[in-house]
Amino acid sequence: MKGIIDQLDKAFESRVRLGLMSVLAVNDWVEFGELKQLLDVTDGNLASHVSALEKKGFIEVRKKFVGKKPNTSFAATKQGKEAFANHINALEQLLKSQG
């Protein structure tokens, strides 16, 4: 079982990061406000988790203006999708090993 635990990625231990990557894994781009609402977190909380995942290269950030309003969107990178899939597979293996 230790081998399976070692396959879990610490980057996804937080429920917010797990939720964030779950949303981005199945959507191309998601806006900040939509993620904030879906995950029920504050601006600062979401921003800190986004920053951590961006530093690991798991998500990319796109900033633009819509009219005069700033608009920030996020997408999972190929590396992020692979790391997240590996994490989910390890969780599934862990669950199956207990059954």
- Asked if residues 9 and 86 have their Cβ atoms less than 8 Å apart, the reply is yes
Among 2-6, 38-42, 87-91, the range scoring the smallest mean pLDDT is 2-6
What the block records as the tokens of 8 is 């879990």
Comparing 7 with 86, which gets the higher pLDDT? 86
pLDDT interval class at 5 (50, 70, 90): confident
Residue 74 carries which side chain, given as an amino acid letter? Answer: F
Overall domain count for the chain: 1
Q: What is the CATH number of the domain that holds 76?
A: 1.10.10.10
Residue 50: domain span:
2-97
